[in-house]
Structure 1
């Protein structure tokens, strides 16, 4: 059971004996419970706003390709999203079928391919952003921009530490 279930107003509303003096294990568990619940709720919010047939994984690949504005190999994309090459191949196949990406052979190495975003893919990505951006902007507005700005450095450091090294005891 999460702290959210135990303390509906959040773990910060826990009695002082638990909140202020909580052990590092409890603090870590509370942090990751909040991150995981937030991730799931965020995915649900965004998924509902995406155009019909588009999954978050599809949008994520299109968004990265639009952002970098250059080709990537399927292996580079799999590494960027921390998924298997098989999972990325499946996502790319669906995007190619929809006309959202172009996949071409590497002329120097027949074993490799390159992926780029198509004009239709860029339009689909832009449509997706237009659909969900008002929702996430509203969440930031409701929480308060200054509070969100204050949380970003901690969340960024958490992400960077998890990307750099596996957690240590």
Structure 2
């Protein structure tokens, strides 16, 4: 049987999540390679992991940002040589985005820079607590997405 948590408990949950998000973004931003923003890393990381081209609209949906915000991020990444943007051969109104070799190298450098920070946090919390927390955070994210 499920009960609704007390309002102060729900408020504490959201407050802690927001503060943890702000602190994590701040700490991660400080260790990223010069000129790279978290949004850049996120896009490069997704493209590297999925190993497939994506449209700007698909990327905007994946990151829950506007198309304009994604266009801005992609313009910066293209200027840096980290992504290739080409017309969609099936629909000239659309574009397709792929990570470049320089983008993959930049993503790898960023990942190497943030890994010690992430590993330290996970080590401090302990593997068991991290394993227990991840499913809860995933469920929260999925509920917020719907």
TM-score, structure 1 normalization: 0.82
Q: Does residue 51 of structure 1 match 2:33?
A: yes
Q: By how many angstroms is 1:148 displaced?
A: 1.3
SS at match of 2:27: helix
In structure 2, how many angstroms separate the alpha carbons of the residues matched to 1:89 and 1:24? 41
1:14-93 counterparts in 2 under 5 A? 24-93=6-75
Task: Say which one has the larger Rg.
Answer: 1
Q: By how many angstroms is 1:149 displaced?
A: 1.0
Runs of 4+ in structure 1 displaced over 2 angstroms? none
Equivalence for 1:123: 105
Cα root mean square deviation, aligned? 0.8
Q: Which runs of 5+ in 1 are unaligned?
A: 1-22, 165-169
Q: Which runs of 5+ in 2 are unaligned?
A: none
Q: By how many angstroms is 1:74 displaced?
A: 0.3
TM-score, structure 2 normalization: 0.95
| Larger RCO (CA within 8 A; separation ≥ 6) | 2
